Amino acid sequence: MPLHPQTPNREDLEQTWQYLENGISKIMNDLQQGMDMKAYMGIYTAVHNFCTSQKAVNSSSTSLHHQGGVHRGAHLLGEDLYNNLIHYLTAHLAGLKEQSGQFADEALLGFYIREWDRYTTAAKYINHLFRYLNRHWVKREMDEGKKNIYDVYTLHLVRWKLDLFDSVQKNVMDGVLKLVEKQRNGETIETAMVKSIVDSFVSLGLDENDSSKSTLDVYREFFEKPFLEITNVYYQLESKQFVAENSVVEYMKKAETRLSEEEGRVHVYLHPDIMIPLMKTCQRVLIQEHKTLLHDEFQVLLNNDRQDDLKRMYNLLSRITEGLEPLRTKFEAHVRKAGLEAIEKVANENADDNLEPKVYVDALLEVHEKYSSLVKIAFKEDTEFVRSLDNACREFVNRNKVCKAASSKSPELLAKYADSLLKKSAKAAEEADLESKLDSIMTVFKYVEDKDVFQKFYSRMLAKRLVHATSASDDAETSMIGKLKDACGFEYTNKLQRMFQDMQISKDLNDSYKEWMNNTLDEESLKTAVDFSIQVLGTSFWPLTPPNTPFNIPQVITKTYDRFQTFYFQKHSGRKLNWLWHLCKGDVKATFAKSSKVPFTFHVSTYQMAILLMFNDATSYTYEDIESTTSLSRDYLDPSLGVFIKAKVLNIEPASSKVGPGTTLTLNTDFKSKKIRVNLNMAVRAEQKQETEDTHKTIEEDRKLLMQSAIVRIMKSRKKLKHAVLVLETIAQIKSRFTPKVPDIKKCIDILLEKEYLERLDGDRLGYLA
Amino acid sequence: MPMASSSFNSYYQNPSTPSASGPTNQNAINSVFDQFRQPSDPLDEFSIDATMAYFDALGLQLDDVTLVPLSKVLGSESMGEISRKGFTDGWMQLGADSLPKMQEKLQELRQSLDTNEEYFKEVYKWAFGWAKPAGSKALPLDSATEWWRLLLQSRFGDNGHLERWLEFLNEKWKKSIPKDTWNMFYEFILSAKADPTLTGYDENGSYPSIIDAYVDYYRNLEQ
């Protein structure tokens, strides 16, 4: 290589520059051939020498580029060198620009990348060689605040941008965009090319205020902007054509694919900066502009249970703002309709009285289950969709065909279903299974508005289970009460828990009664004492009513009756015992039957026991005899006798007449039974129906009291309150039990005004009267 | 008391109104009382007959609404009952010690009632306790009907709500009238004056439910 064998005269610019230009040119054009250390050091020294020489020889006339003509020492010398370098670069780039004219598209990209690599590599070397210039002259100029002076490397970039980039970038971008379009059309492209272009564009972004920093300005303007524009046009066209020829579902798949492709594109060869605007553009063209189409399809997908497609639609629409709102509204309406239809179906298939609680609750649960899993799987448990589901369920749980007559039907049936699960029965559920069924009761319970109705029925049936010892499992009972407590608070289950306590206390009471008997009775009395156990239950916790028939306690048990009272009042003086005969039962041994040597054991109610015991004295009585001996009202007497006749324990005369006055009842000594133990204590159906009605009636009364006490409570703490505010607060307080109606609240206010708990003040306000 | 009633208040604050000729003589009032007290009456009370005779002498008819404010002024505890103390205190305050002066004052009471809404309201509310049977909390429906007609007919009779209200009570309610209903009906009939079709009535507002029921009844009739 024809380098000057020795370093040039340090004070001669022309000579120095020629020496340098030779070296730079070699670096720029032939670097791959290598450069020896000596030559490299020569250039480095020449720059150093020139910059440090005291006097430059050249005059303005001989200066190659500097036109100032005034000597200013080393300062001036640096500037000369700098300007000569600019001149060299401009000329080099002008050459490249000319060459680029021969290329187009991919070839142009190849050329650009090649030259860019060569140029920037050279720039690094040259920057190193001119380090002395950078450190002194350039630094000084920059410190003085001169604009447009850069370190030598940056100067290369600035010149590239000005002398080449500005005129070729359009063509280069055209090449890039054509390449990307090819890829979008399914061809394979050399993505590294695009990536190199991106890197080059990014490198050209210089911070005007601090050249050591880079900005994305150049890249954004010359790459991102045209890229996004072309993307927009491409997908606009494609999506329009696609939806014209394909189904909406196919389109959703297409859009989904396109979106993930574009995302992948960013990761593979684009700058991460484009991710947000690129996704925005794609979402706008691919989703936003077709959202009406998607919204319209939603109902179709729902109707056909297309879970995967619903998920796809959710994912697409969740990417745009306000995209899901119409879906939520439709979803809510759809679920409500599904629930109403399911209930209408079971209501039509079962007459009102025969509707099995299980059938009803299962129908509610099925709809809930179906759509709650849809929300989970397709809608990512989106809180808004969960809310829509809840709204819909609350609607169809509380207002459906079965509830038409009374909104309290849902909680009633739900409580009855709970009873059927918790009661001993032949097909008792497995424990784990039972637990999950109790959980599903809670699912429906959550939506029930009249929680007080559920409470009423539940506590009545729990009382029955406990009193008759028909509860299947203590654990299950406790678990269910725990769930109710979690849902509604301590107050809601307080009485239920007290009922359990009473059962425990009664157990202990029976033990100490036995002990007491052993201590107080003589042997003979002990021997003849009737087997007896008792439950003593607190009146205020148990939803039990005293019997509504008079009853003469049969002689046989009066001793026991008196004895227990003596014992109990000794223990708790001042307490009162109400005997609930209608809930009592007993076993009697029957020795009258000729067919069996072993006596039968009849399981009977206390009322039935009183009737049977009469037949110890005679074998035949008139209806009127029995009526006057037992004192039972006919509501109780007739069904009790009915069971005996049906079981053929007693014969009626005249034969096959209805139980009633004028008939005679005779012990049937031909009584037969396959079993030794015979259960004759059967609940009367009419009684059950009556109970349901009573329960509803007490609910109305309780609600009035609940509202009044809420009003008084509020007024007591607030003293004076606007009427409207009082109504709202009352609703808020009571809502967790049931949804009170405003007119009912107003009626309660009227009552409280009349009773002078409240007074009217001026301007719609009410005052509390202590 | 609100400003609107200041004209009436002046009776109490200034016994010697321009119409009174000289200071009021308590003895003269007492002798008017004795003039109408029947020989069989207790010393300090008018029997119904005495009250009737006195009203008659004043020229006050029983269907004249002014008998309500007059009874109030004279401290009557229930219809037709006037005590000596109430009689003398009342007339002393109004400043009248002879029958002609009393007639003059009666005229002024009538006028106040007609022109002063606040005063009317005060008299109306007072009337409930006066008209209801002693020991009862409510006013029997038939007497409530009479009193409403007497008190409100001339003032609020125009738009028909009073008569329809009474018709509603007698057809549907059929029970005696509690105090709150009495008081609130005044507010209602007052607002119905401005809104005779009740379009602005809010069932969720603070009126007692009986008035809600009336509005519902009225709207059904109008349909």
One DSSP character per residue, A486-552 reads HHH-HHHHHHHHHHHHHHHHHHHHHHHHHHHHHHHS-HHHHHHPPP-------TTTS-----SS--P
Does B158 touch chain A if contact means CB atoms closer than 8 Å? Answer: no
Here the CATH number for the domain that contains residue B22 is: 1.10.238.10
- Ranking A423-427, A696-700, B86-90 by mean pLDDT, the lowest is A423-427
Q: How far apart are CA B88 and CA B27, in angstroms?
A: 9
Residue A105 in this model has a pLDDT that exceeds 70: yes
> A723 to chain B: which residues are within 8 Å by CB?
205-206
Q: Tell me which chain A residue has its CA closest to the CA of residue B138.
A: A754
Question: Tokens standing for B197?
Answer: 């079709």
Which pLDDT score is estimated for A145?
79
B211 and B155 housed in the same domain: yes
B60 and B108 housed in the same domain: yes
Which pLDDT score is estimated for A57?
46
Q: How far apart are CA A139 and CA A136, in angstroms?
A: 5
Domain end call among A668, A683, A698: A683
Domain end call among B87, B115, B143: B115
User: Does ipTM top 0.85?
Assistant: no
Work out the average pLDDT over A156-171: 89
Which pLDDT score is estimated for A736?
84
Express each pLDDT in A652-675 by its tens digit.
988 888 888 999 999 998 888 888
B17 and B110 housed in the same domain: yes
Return residues 99-128 of A near B (CB < 8 Å).
Answer: none
* Banded pLDDT at B135 (limits 50, 70, 90): confident
B91 and B27 housed in the same domain: yes
CB atoms under 10 Å from CB of A720, counted, come to 12
Kindly determine whether residue A764 and residue B183, on different chains, have CB atoms separated by under 8 Å: no
CB atoms under 10 Å from CB of A389, counted, come to 21
Kindly determine whether residue A750 and residue B184, on different chains, have CB atoms separated by under 8 Å: no
Any domain includes B125:
no
Residue B91, domain extent: 3-115
Any domain includes A361:
no
A209 and A139 housed in the same domain: yes
A594 and A632 housed in the same domain: yes
Residue A627 in this model has a pLDDT that exceeds 50: yes
Work out the average pLDDT over B132-144: 90
> A753 to chain B: which residues are within 8 Å by CB?
178, 180, 208
Residue A428 in this model has a pLDDT that exceeds 70: no
Domain end call among A166, A194, A215: A215
Any domain includes B123:
no
Work out the average pLDDT over A33-56: 75
Tally C-beta pairs within 8 A across A and B.
Answer: 35
* Banded pLDDT at B6 (limits 50, 70, 90): very low
* Dihedral pair phi/psi, residue B40, rounded to 5°: -80, -10
Domain end call among A581, A605, A623: A581
Any domain includes B13:
yes
Which pLDDT score is estimated for B168?
94
Residue A711 in this model has a pLDDT that exceeds 50: yes
Residue A62 in this model has a pLDDT that exceeds 50: no
A110 and A237 housed in the same domain: no
Any domain includes A673:
yes
Does B202 touch chain A if contact means CB atoms closer than 8 Å? Answer: no
Does A727 touch chain B if contact means CB atoms closer than 8 Å? Answer: yes
Any domain includes A157:
yes
Kindly determine whether residue A724 and residue B205, on different chains, have CB atoms separated by under 8 Å: yes
Express each pLDDT in A607-617 by its tens digit.
999 999 999 99
∠ CA(A642), CA(A646), CA(A648), 5° rounding?
A: 115
**DSSP assignments along A388-449, one per residue:** HHHHHHHHHHHSSSTTSS-TTHHHHHHHHHHHHHHB--TTPPPHHHHHHHHHHHHHHHHH-S
A54 and A80 housed in the same domain: yes
Does A531 touch chain B if contact means CB atoms closer than 8 Å? Answer: no
∠ CA(A606), CA(A612), CA(A613), 5° rounding?
A: 90
Q: Tell me which chain A residue has its CA closest to the CA of residue B204.
A: A742
A597 and A734 housed in the same domain: no
Kindly determine whether residue B209 and residue A746, on different chains, have CB atoms separated by under 8 Å: yes
How do A600-605 and A585-590 pair as beta strands? antiparallel
Q: How far apart are CA A139 and CA A212, in angstroms?
A: 12
A601 and A708 housed in the same domain: no
Contact A207, A182 (CB under 8 A): no
Residue A70 in this model has a pLDDT that exceeds 60: no
Any domain includes B124:
no
B151 and B67 housed in the same domain: no
Contact A517, A529 (CB under 8 A): yes
Express each pLDDT in A435-474 by its tens digit.
999 999 999 999 999 999 999 999 999 999 999 888 988 8
A161 and A262 housed in the same domain: no
Kindly determine whether residue B206 and residue A724, on different chains, have CB atoms separated by under 8 Å: yes
B108 and B176 housed in the same domain: no
Any domain includes A333:
no
B89 and B141 housed in the same domain: no
* Banded pLDDT at A540 (limits 50, 70, 90): confident
Q: Tell me which chain B residue has its CA closest to the CA of residue A722.
A: B206
Which pLDDT score is estimated for B15?
39
Any domain includes B122:
no
Which pLDDT score is estimated for A598?
84
Here the CATH number for the domain that contains residue A741 is: 1.10.10.10
Question: How many distinct structural domains can be found in chain A?
Answer: 5
Any domain includes B152:
yes
B30 and B105 housed in the same domain: yes
Q: How far apart are CA A592 and CA A616, in angstroms?
A: 9
* Banded pLDDT at A426 (limits 50, 70, 90): low
A666 and A719 housed in the same domain: no
> B191 to chain A: which residues are within 8 Å by CB?
none
A101 and A201 housed in the same domain: yes
Kindly determine whether residue B208 and residue A766, on different chains, have CB atoms separated by under 8 Å: no
Proportion of chain B above pLDDT 70, given as a percent? 90
> A769 to chain B: which residues are within 8 Å by CB?
none
Here the CATH number for the domain that contains residue B148 is: 1.10.238.200
Nearest CB partner across the interface for A754, out of B178, B184, B204: B178
* Banded pLDDT at A332 (limits 50, 70, 90): very high
Which pLDDT score is estimated for A45?
84
Here the CATH number for the domain that contains residue A264 is: 1.20.1310.10
Return residues 701-720 of A near B (CB < 8 Å).
Answer: none
Which pLDDT score is estimated for A291?
92
Q: Tell me which chain B residue has its CA closest to the CA of residue A741.
A: B204
A701 and A727 housed in the same domain: yes
Of A257, A264, A260, the C-alpha closest to A239 is A257
Domain end call among B59, B85, B115: B115
Q: How far apart are CA A396 and CA A268, in angstroms?
A: 51
B110 and B137 housed in the same domain: no
How many Å lie between the alpha carbon of A397 and the closest alpha carbon of chain B? 27
* Banded pLDDT at A302 (limits 50, 70, 90): very high
B141 and B110 housed in the same domain: no
Residue A264 in this model has a pLDDT that exceeds 50: yes
Question: How many distinct structural domains can be found in chain B?
Answer: 2
Q: How far apart are CA A74 and CA A52, in angstroms?
A: 6
Residue A232, domain extent: 223-317
∠ CA(B149), CA(B155), CA(B157), 5° rounding?
A: 60
How do A650-653 and A620-622 pair as beta strands? unpaired
Buried b (16+ CB within 10 A) or exposed e, A534-560: ebebeeebbbbeebeeebebbeebeeb
Tokens 């009661």 sit at which residue?
A: A423
Give the residue from B206, B212, B215 with the most A CB atoms within 10 Å of its CB, the best one to mutate.
Answer: B206
Express each pLDDT in A479-514 by its tens digit.
999 999 999 888 889 999 999 999 999 999 999 999
Residue A336 in this model has a pLDDT that exceeds 90: yes
How many CA atoms lie within 13 Å of A620's alpha carbon, on the beta-carbon side?
7
In the sheet with A758-760, reading across from the earlier edge strand, the strands are: A720-722, A765-768, A758-760
Which pLDDT score is estimated for A211?
62
Does B136 touch chain A if contact means CB atoms closer than 8 Å? Answer: no
Any domain includes A4:
no
> B129 to chain A: which residues are within 8 Å by CB?
none
Any domain includes A444:
no
Which pLDDT score is estimated for A69?
40
Give the residue from B179, B201, B209 with the most A CB atoms within 10 Å of its CB, the best one to mutate.
Answer: B209
Q: How far apart are CA A724 and CA B205, in angstroms?
A: 7
Any domain includes B127:
no
A178 and A90 housed in the same domain: yes
- When comparing pLDDT for A209 and A176, which is higher? A176
Does B121 touch chain A if contact means CB atoms closer than 8 Å? Answer: no
Residue A212 in this model has a pLDDT that exceeds 70: no
Contact A82, A137 (CB under 8 A): yes
Any domain includes A732:
yes
Any domain includes A211:
yes
A273 and A198 housed in the same domain: no
- Ranking A263-272, A388-397, B48-57 by mean pLDDT, the lowest is B48-57
B196 and B165 housed in the same domain: yes
Nearest CB partner across the interface for A753, out of B180, B203, B205: B180
Express each pLDDT in A147-157 by its tens digit.
788 888 888 88
B96 and B144 housed in the same domain: no
Here the CATH number for the domain that contains residue A541 is: 4.10.1030.10
Work out the average pLDDT over B181-210: 90
